[in-house]
């Protein structure tokens, strides 16, 4: 809503993968959001979105902020952005084996028994330890 903001835009990689014209995107770098009579802001684009994951954020009076209503986030070197996942990319349409990822907590003796965590990647069909 940003009731006191003078300018709100939707920005991020929302246009990633869409057709380019020459070396420049044929699309704006951000979508302007317009405040309605009910106080909600909306924006529109003529570009059709592609399936996959997109990072986005709101630019409120020049300051980039993640979407406060979206619990899906992506943290990377520039900060935290909201994440939008659209079904339909190749991983959802083809029967391919996927790895399993487990997040495991442990006490690291090398760090004075400090609580640490690690990620364990298990190859496809190896959850039971039967792969050679």
DSSP string, 38-61: TS-EE---SSPPPSEEEEEEEEET
Clarify whether residues 58 and 112 are in a common domain: no
- Domain carrying residue 114: 97-122
Is residue 131 one of the residues assigned to a domain? no
Is residue 25 one of the residues assigned to a domain? yes
What are the pLDDT tens digits along the chain (132 aa)? 888 999 999 888 766 655 555 544 455 678 899 999 999 999 887 665 667 778 888 999 999 899 999 998 887 766 788 988 776 655 555 666 777 888 888 888 888 888 888 888 888 766 665 555
Alpha-carbon distance of 103 to 68, in angstroms, equals: 26
Clarify whether residues 117 and 79 are in a common domain: no
What is the pLDDT, as a whole number, of residue 25?
46
Reported residue count of the chain is 132
Cα–Cα separations (whole angstroms), residue 56 to 33, 35, 45, 60, 100: 14, 19, 14, 13, 27
Number of domains within the chain: 2
CA triplet 56, 57, 59: central angle to 5 degrees?
140
Clarify whether residues 17 and 63 are in a common domain: yes
């Amino acid at each position: 809503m940003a009731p006191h903001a003078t300018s709100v835009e939707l920005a991020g990689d929302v246009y990633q993968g869409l057709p380019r014209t020459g070396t420049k995107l044929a699309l704006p770098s951000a979508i302007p959001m317009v405040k309605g009579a009910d106080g909600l802001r909306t924006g529109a684009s003529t570009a059709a979105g592609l399936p996959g994951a997109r990072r986005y954020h709101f630019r409120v009076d020049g300051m980039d902020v993640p979407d406060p209503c979206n619990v899906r986030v992506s943290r990377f070197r520039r900060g935290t952005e909201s994440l939008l996942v659209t079904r339909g990319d190749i991983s959802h349409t083809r029967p391919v084996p996927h790895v399993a990822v487990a997040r495991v907590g442990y006490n690291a003796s090398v760090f004075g028994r400090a609580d640490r965590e690690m990620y364990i990647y298990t190859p496809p069909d190896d959850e039971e330890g039967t792969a050679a």
